[in-house]
Amino acid sequence: MKSATATRIRLDIAYDGTNFAGWGIQPNHRTVQGVLEEALGLILRAPSVVRLTVAGRTDAGVHASGQVAHADVTTSMAPAEIHRRLGRYLGSDSDVAIHAVTLAPPGFDARFSAEARRYEYRIMDGSDRVNPLERHRAAILPNRLDLDAMQDVARRVTGLRDFGAFCKPRAMATTIRELQEFEWKREDDNTLVASLQADAFCHSMVRALVGASVAAGQGRLSIGDLEKLRDGAKRTSRFKVMPAHGLCLNEVIYPPDDEVGARAELTRTRRDLPSD
């Protein structure tokens, strides 16, 4: 029999966030982390809790098609077998699924090795024929939005900057991020989709950026006011943070395997804006 060894595994995960109180474990609440850690513990017959480290902690109601986590386990089971057993345990009708379980390369950290994350936000606007199949993955607004105004917002917030106006403050946490991509498009006549990519997102940042776009698309926020708020980098009530259920984490981007350790060390260094 193959002896048990300590190893780090990578899990590629998707979930419908509707009935979860977010990713992170909370007392008396069903969470993605809680469901998966329980499943791993039972499958591996672990004597203690198997802890998952995730690329990005999602809030209650937020979905994911490309979430990534890692876990340090002691087992003789191959990653492919862990994957198979997890799928069997969760079942085909589960609201969380494991797309892959693989051996993590040396130095890999699901959170700190990531180079970028990609999110999508969906809005249905200006239709009196709402598709009920979309109600758990799109925010529904009664009036049609101005796509050009929303695109203007996206262009003016892209780049490396302090996103304090769009982030929920957290003690000892920086709000400096590099928003690498932000684009709006009409998927069909009544559906708007935002695609955003950044090196990392601070708490509520995507939903606040979408909220600023919506305010501009409704004619309630001028570009001049947006720029003042952006440059002031202070939390504001001039626009709403949009509902969680319109948001989905689509992808976590990592460097080549031989660079993941160096990337993790770099990310742990606190970011500051470059001086002029």
Q: What pLDDT digit, counting tens, does each position of 41-93 carry?
A: 999 998 888 999 999 999 999 999 999 999 999 999 999 999 999 999 999 99
- Residues carrying CATH 3.30.70.660, the chain: 116-253
Confidence of residue 275 (pLDDT cuts 50, 70, 90): very low
Which among 74, 18, 24, 30 is positioned nearest to 52, based on CA atoms? 24
Any alpha helices (H) in the chain, and if so which ranges? 32-44, 79-90, 147-157, 205-217, 223-232, 260-267
At the topology level, CATH places domain 5-103 in Alpha-Beta Plaits (3.30.70)
Predicted pLDDT at 196: 98
Lowest average pLDDT, out of 19-28, 137-146, 168-177, 200-209, goes to: 168-177
Residue 103 and residue 260 in contact, taking contact as beta carbons nearer than 8 Å: no
**In CATH terms, is domain 116-253 a member of 3.30.70.660?**
yes
List 257's β-bridge partners, or say none. Answer: none
Q: Kindly report, as residue ranges, where domains of CATH 3.30.70.580 are found in the chain.
A: 5-103
Q: Which residues are identified as catalytic?
A: 59
pLDDT exceeds cutoff 90 at 269: no
pLDDT in tens, 12-26: 999 999 999 999 999
CA distances from 49 to 40, 45, 78, 193, 227 (A): 9, 10, 19, 39, 47
Given a contact cutoff of 8 angstroms between Cβ atoms, the answer to whether 263 and 55 are in contact is: no
Instruction: Tell me, rounded to whole angstroms, the distance of Cα 70 from its chain centroid.
Output: 16
Overall average pLDDT of the 176-203 stretch: 94
Coil, strand, or helix at residue 126? coil
Using alpha carbons only, what angle is made at residue 113 by residues 118 and 71, rounded to the nearest 5 degrees?
100
Residue 3: pLDDT over 80: no
The span from the CA of 68 to the CA of 84, in Å, is 17
CA–CA distance, 180 with 198 (Å, rounded to integer): 5
Return d(Cα 213, Cα 145) in angstroms, integer: 9
